Amino acid sequence: MKALRDTGAVLFACNLSKVADFYAAIVPMRISRPEPGLIVLEADGFELIIHGIPEQIAQSISIASPPARRTDTPLKLALPVASLAEARSKASGLGGALDPVDREFEWRGFRACDGHDPEGNVVQFRERLAATRRPLGVAIR
């Protein structure tokens, strides 16, 4: 059994594999433990658990195509990417999207842009600026 990660988040999804594949492809995360009803993605001491919504509840949820953003939630994930341009390119083919380049902003050593996953969950993607860039996977101590 692997050790418990220090930090993490749980995201509920109707289409478990589609949402997990989206995050695994956009963010440098690996699928570590698929289990019935959930998929665990891991990277650098952080885990994102994609948890399936029970079928009886999922049937009552309608996800448009393209998905409408779920902006009525008090929580937004912020995840690192190597390149916002690359993330934007990949996201559209995986059922999600990033806002256009003119919506990017810089703050605290990174460039960021909001987007959404295949089910409309809003997420912020962050690319380190060159002056503060370190290889992904290297922890700051």
Residues 10 and 95: their CA atoms lie apart, in Å, by: 20
Whether residue 3 is predicted with pLDDT greater than 70 in this model: the reply is no
Q: Which helix (H) or strand (E) element contains residue 12?
A: strand 7-13
Give 107-116 pLDDT, tens digit per residue: 999 999 999 9
Asked if 49 and 77 touch (Cβ cutoff 8 Å), the reply is no
Whether residue 138 is predicted with pLDDT greater than 60 in this model: the reply is no
Torsion of CA 98, 101, 106, 110, to 10 degrees: 60
Asked if 79 and 60 touch (Cβ cutoff 8 Å), the reply is no
Please report the DSSP string for 26-88 in residue order. HTT-EEEEEETTEEEEEETTEEEEEEEPPHHHHTT----SSPPPB-S-S--EEEE-S-HHHHH
Instruction: Tell me what the pLDDT averaged over the chain comes to.
Output: 88
Which class for 50: exposed (0-12), middle (13-18), buried (19 or more C-beta within 10 A)? buried
Whether residue 134 is predicted with pLDDT greater than 70 in this model: the reply is no
For the chain, give every domain's residue range.
7-132
Give 46-72 pLDDT, tens digit per residue: 999 999 998 888 888 888 888 989 888
| pTM of the predicted model as reported, rounded to 2 decimal places | 0.83
Whether residue 135 is predicted with pLDDT greater than 60 in this model: the reply is no
Classify 7-132 by CATH class. Answer: alpha beta
When pLDDT is averaged across residues 120-141 and rounded to a whole number, the result is 74
